[in-house]
Amino acid sequence: MNEQRALPRIGVLAIQGDYAAHADALAEVGATPTEVRKPDQLAGLHGLILPGGESTTILRFLDKHSFFQTLREFAANHPVFGTCAGAILLSREVRSPAQRSLGILDSVVERNAYGRQIDSTILTAETELPGGPLEMVFIRAPRIVETGPGVQVLARRSGFPALVRQNHIMAATFHPELSADRRVHKLFVEIVAQSALTAAASG
């Protein structure tokens, strides 16, 4: 067979936050990034990143552009990775204060969980990812306080999950795009590539 394997096309929701850094990280690990600002731009993409920012602002934007349901449908059969505010949006339940969310990840998060003094910090912690400890940049980070049985914890901050995976959904309470280490984006691109192959085989 003479099948050419194209690079996976991964969208980055480009409303707010450091979406450009995510796009650079994706390109570095062998994906083609594309900025997404409207629901119809999800067509033809193999995966999506929801970057950090202010989850209330992103939520308002999603509502205004009738994005909410389209994102849910996309996430049902395409990998989605939420970082920081993106992780908040993906969660089943949001606390402090309570806020609507997509409910795609079986997790409960508390927003701005670390108080003013230590709201932004860089830590290095053990991870299940191959290759040793992982640097994690936290910026007014949420804390994942509960996860369901289908959620695999790949790294923690003070015992609480900081990087998780539930099948084709990933979430980080930190900003992997701001570190030089590309293992987190690499894992996501692998999940996307795998899921695109499976879809091609069954379609």
Is residue 158 within 8 A of residue 131, CB to CB? The reply is no
- Of 96 and 198, which has the nearer Cβ to ligand GLN? 96
Query: Residue with structure tokens 């910026």?
Result: 139
Per DSSP bridges, beta strands 152-157 and 32-36 are unpaired
Half-sphere exposure of 139 (CA within 13 A, CB side): 17
Among the listed residues 78, 84, 110, 168, the single catalytic one is: 84
* Residue 45: strand, helix, or coil: coil
Q: Is 54 in the site for ligand GLN (CB under 6 A)?
A: yes
Q: Is 59 in the site for ligand GLN (CB under 6 A)?
A: no
What's the one-letter identity of residue 26?
L
Q: Is 139 in the site for ligand GLN (CB under 6 A)?
A: yes
46, 78, 111, 185: residue in contact with ligand GLN (rule CB under 6 A): 111
Q: Give yes or no: 190 in active site.
A: no
Helix, strand and coil content of the chain, in percent to the nearest 5, comes to 30, 30, 35
- Identify which range of 30-38, 81-89, 158-166, 180-188 contacts ligand GLN by CB under 6 A: 81-89
- Of 16 and 32, which has the nearer Cβ to ligand GLN? 16
Site string for ligand GLN, 158-177 (x = CB under 6 A): --------------------
Buried b (16+ CB within 10 A) or exposed e, 41-56: bbeebbbbbbbbbbbe
88, 171, 189, 193: residue in contact with ligand GLN (rule CB under 6 A): 88
Read off φ and ψ for residue 57, nearest 5 degrees.
-65, -45
> Closest separation between CB of residue 8 and ligand GLN, Å?
24
Q: Which residues are catalytic?
A: 84, 175, 177
Question: What residues make contact with ligand GLN under the rule CB under 6 A?
Answer: 52-55, 84-85, 88, 111-112, 139-140, 142
